[in-house]
């Protein structure tokens, strides 16, 4: 089995941002020369997430409203007693999850017709990274 590990770096302009990283992952897959296997894409920060869904602006706005409704910013999170003020960002990350595994078939991401990979940032405006690990033959 062959493997390739690369990192994507982000420093978002906004506190919360959703970035389509499908093209970046496809570039790493091509570099790996793997034809059959899988790719792990994982946020390496506890206030970010990676997910697969449709690349449709209305849906992205719906996702943003949904996570904000379920995990709104509040001053009374116990986590804030540590001196941090991002308790809601940790909870938002848990809602979406930090990683996805995408199958690779015939050298391509084996997606459904509308699926794309997104990086979701919930505590941005500082440098963060995502690991992309390709595994297969």
Largest CA distance in the chain: 51
2-136 topology per CATH: Jelly Rolls (2.60.120)
Q: What is the pLDDT of residue 24?
A: 98
Q: What is the pLDDT of residue 96?
A: 97
Q: What's the predicted TM-score (pTM) here?
A: 0.95
Nearest Cα residue to 136 out of 52, 53, 49, 28: 28
Average pLDDT by stretches of 10, the chain with 137 residues: 98 96 98 98 97 96 98 94 94 97 98 96 96 98
* Contact indicator for 132, 3 with CB cutoff of 8 Å: no
């Amino acid at each position: 089995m062959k493997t390739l590990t690369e990192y994507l770096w982000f420093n978002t302009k906004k506190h919360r941002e959703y970035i389509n990283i499908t093209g970046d992952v496809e570039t790493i897959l091509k570099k790996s020369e793997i034809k059959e296997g899988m790719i792990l894409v994982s946020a390496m920060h506890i206030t970010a997430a990676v997910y697969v869904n449709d690349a449709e602006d209305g849906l992205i706005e719906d996702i943003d409203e949904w996570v904000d409704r379920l995990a709104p910013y509040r001053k009374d999170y116990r986590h804030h007693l540590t001196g941090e003020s991002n308790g809601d960002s940790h909870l938002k990350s848990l809602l979406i999850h930090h990683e996805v595994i995408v199958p690779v078939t015939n050298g391509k991401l084996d997606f459904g017709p509308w699926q794309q990979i997104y990086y979701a940032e919930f505590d941005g405006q500082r440098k963060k990274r995502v690991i992309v690990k390709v595994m297969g033959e």
